[in-house]
Structure 1
Amino acid sequence: MARYSKEHKQVTRQRIIETAGVRFKQDGIGGSGISTLMSDAGLTNGALYAHFASKDDLVANVIAEELRTQVARYGTLQPGRPGLEDLVRDYLSAEHRDHPGVGCPSAALLDEIGRCEDDTKQAYADGARAIMEEIATRLAPEDPRSARGEAIGLFTMMVGTLQLSRAPADRKLADEILEQGIENTLTFMS
């Protein structure tokens, strides 16, 4: 039996994390079985255990990677408050609302993460902290610690607004929730 190179194993591991991230955000963690997750990645069920100790280990790794990627994308925004305003408008967009599989894991999975094992909760806490630090730095570049409370408030407003906007079947109401969320968030920032 031929051994795969370290690079091949890393590429395969990353593919599992990426495809599982999309599936979790679309169908939920509990609604995503190992066979579906591995099929999405083009692998057999047994391949999971060559890369992760368990599904819980995969979940923790997916959450950590999803949030790291989210923070990295924030780095591409214009500096300071203008970038933060762009972030709010992009985050609270119909596009983000309508495509949870490629969006923020907080808005898609927060209720499930709260019921996960400690490793997943820790991965989430680390990632959420990095997001809030990024927001705080944009709010008060000279003293980000002074903006920590406001950053927590903005993050929770954004996540809650997006979650709520996904619930109604009435698109007009869903759009109104997003529009009001943008207005409220930007008012909170000023």
Structure 2
Amino acid sequence: MVRYGSEHKRETRQRIIETAGRRLKRDGIDGSGVATLMKDAGLTNGAFYAHFASKDDLIATTIADQLRTLTANIIAQAEPGPAGLEQIVRWYLSADHRDNPGDGCPNAALLDEIGRCADATKQVYTDGLLVAIEGMAARMAPHDPSSARVKALSLLGMMAGTLQLSRALTDRRLSDDLLEQGVRNALALLGAEQHI
């Protein structure tokens, strides 16, 4: 039997988390069994429990990882101030994001299912989401980000809902129009925000 070092185990665990993130955002939590998640990572079911205590453990870990990735790759990389908010809005409400849920934000892809998860998963989601929201709030109100926290959360809610609707529509043109209107609505909200 081949023995692997701790670095190999960490890399394998991360591969499971990353592939699970893509699968969960495409097929949902309920639509993604352990066997499928492990197959995506190129592993057998038997290897699962060497890395996670349960599917719930994997789900919570994956959601936390997805929110960290969103914060690091999208929110933290956006320009400071209003220009960065516009970048975030335009990325979020883009046809590319709509068409590639596996590579996108976990909010629009998984919110309805996260709401039905165990409290531990909801807490991990809340903690990760608040970090993302702080990044947005810092662009809304650089001198007092906490004052913009609820408004940033509302903006994200509006964007996630718009993206969910756009993904559900079979009429591509209507879906594109919805995304464009969503961008206008979000930017109008941000414009009003700058005058308060």
TM exceeding 0.5: yes
1:188 aligned partner: 189
Cα distance in structure 2, aligned partners of 1:55 and 1:44: 14
**How far 1:140 sits from its partner (Å)?**
0.6
Superposed, 1:49-60 pairs within 5 Å as 49-60=49-60
2:40 aligned partner: 40
Map Cα deviations across residues 14-57 of structure 1 (whole Å, 9 max, x no partner): 00000001111111111111111101000000111000000110
Q: Where has structure 1 moved over 6 Å in runs of 4 or more?
A: none
Moved more, 121-130 or 7-16: 121-130
Aligned 1:1-190 pairs, distance under 5 A: 1-73=1-73, 74-190=75-191
SS at match of 2:170: coil
What is the distance in 2 between the residues matched to 1:35 and 1:150? 40
Q: For the residues of structure 2 that align with 1:69 and 1:99, how far apart are their CA atoms?
A: 16
The Cα offsets for residues 75-97 of structure 1, whole Å up to 9 and x where unpaired, read as 11111110110110011000000
CA distance in 2 between counterparts of 1:104 and 1:116 reads: 18
CA offsets 1:61-88 (integer angstroms, 9 cap, x no match): 0000000010011211111110110110
CA distance, structure 1, for counterparts of residue 143 and residue 134 of structure 2: 13
| Cα offsets for 1:80-118 (capped at 9, x unmatched) | 110110110011000000000110011001000111111
User: Deviation per CA, 1:114-163, whole angstroms, max 9, x where unpaired?
Assistant: 11111111111011111111111000111101112211111111111111
- Report the secondary structure of 1:166's partner residue: helix
Which whole-Å CA distance do the structure 2 matches of 1:53 and 1:13 have between them?
A: 12
Q: What amino acid sits opposite 1:83 in the alignment?
A: G
Superposed displacement of residue 3, structure 1:
2.4
Q: Could you tell me which runs of 5 or more consecutive residues in structure 2 were left unpaired when the two chains were aligned.
A: 192-196
d(CA) in 2 for partners of 1:124, 1:52: 18
When normalised by structure 1's length, the TM-score is 0.98
- Looking at structure 2, the residues matched to 132 and 116 of structure 1 have their Cα atoms a distance apart, in angstroms, of 21
CA distance in 2, matches of 1:33, 1:161: 28
User: Structure 1: which amino acid aligns with 2:100?
Assistant: H
Structure 1 unaligned residues grouped into runs of 5+: none
**What is the aligned-residue identity percentage?**
63
- Matched residue of 1:177: which SS? helix
Instruction: Give the alignment's Cα RMSD to 1 decimal.
Output: 0.8
Give the paired residue count: 190
